[in-house]
């Protein structure tokens, strides 16, 4: 029986393995030693492919950016930006450890640079002046990352879970002291069909409508 060929160690394989560990266990247990064990090599072998833990994190963030939809210029800026945001949300829910890291790197990789350049290019091709395009990207990123910080921190995983948590909290509140919290819990969050995940699209709609108005005003 022929011996099984081991997959050669490359930067791509090292980064992919690190992402697998972080997806499963979070960032805290990720070290060069744990990564080496995961790929079946000595820790020193990793340094032929990543210079340091920071270099590894740069590569991991770049790998996440590579999964996000790249807006295409000339195909309707609002639709392309919406795809980029919804794709980003789906990707970050797969890689929850990355939510607070996406714009933290000082040595961005090629996928990171392409991602930022593509959204700017889409907006510029649609007629956004440079300043408005910059404001738009900042607002879109704040919406995406800010929402994900909330979503991955919630004490429930599905729509009905929100109502159950809200009801338990509301039961312990004095309506005379916290009337508006009790009101929104009992007249909105606990209603059938409520799903906090719908808030992402609702906020994105508001943002895109506002950007469309700003774009019309400068044309």
* Sign of the alpha-carbon dihedral angle for 115, 145, 22, 28: positive
* Distance between CA atoms of residues 157 and 10, nearest Å: 36
pLDDT surpassing 80 at residue 42: yes
Residues in the chain: 219
Structure tokens at 199: 């808030």
8 A C-beta contact, residue 60 and residue 84: no
Task: Tell me the domains of the chain and their CATH numbers.
Answer: 11-50 (1.10.10.60)
At 75-86, the pLDDT tens digits run 999 999 999 999
* Distance between CA atoms of residues 71 and 84, nearest Å: 6
Nearest C-alpha neighbor of 20 from the set 52, 73, 56, 72 = 56
For residues 194-211, give the mean pLDDT: 93
At 5-40, the pLDDT tens digits run 467 899 999 999 999 999 999 999 999 999 999 999
Indicate the average pLDDT of the chain: 91
Residue 138: HSE in the Cβ half-sphere, 13 Å Cα cutoff: 6
Q: What is the pLDDT of residue 31?
A: 93
At 133-162, the pLDDT tens digits run 999 999 999 999 999 999 888 777 666 677
């Amino acid at each position: 029986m022929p011996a099984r060929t081991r997959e050669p160690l490359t930067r791509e394989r090292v980064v992919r393995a690190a992402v697998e560990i972080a997806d499963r266990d979070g960032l805290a247990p990720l070290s060069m030693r744990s990564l080496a064990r995961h790929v079946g090599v000595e820790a020193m072998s990793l340094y032929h492919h990543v210079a340091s833990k920071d270099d590894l994190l740069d590569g991991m963030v770049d790998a996440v950016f590579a999964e996000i939809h790249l807006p295409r210029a000339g195909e309707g800026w609002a639709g392309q930006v919406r795809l980029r945001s919804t794709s980003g949300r789906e990707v970050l829910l797969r890689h929850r450890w990355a939510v607070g890291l996406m714009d933290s790197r000082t040595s961005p990789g090629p996928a990171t640079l392409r991602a930022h350049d593509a959204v700017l290019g889409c907006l510029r091709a649609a007629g956004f002046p440079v300043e408005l395009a910059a404001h738009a990207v900042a607002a879109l990123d704040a919406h995406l990352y800010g929402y994900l910080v909330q979503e991955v921190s919630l004490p429930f995983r599905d729509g009905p879970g929100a109502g159950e948590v809200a009801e338990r909290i509301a039961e312990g509140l004095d309506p005379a002291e916290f009337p508006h919290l009790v009101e929104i819990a009992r007249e909105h969050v606990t209603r059938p069909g409520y799903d906090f995940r719908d808030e992402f699209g609702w906020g994105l709609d508001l943002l895109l409508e506002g950007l469309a108005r700003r774009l019309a005003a400068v044309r």
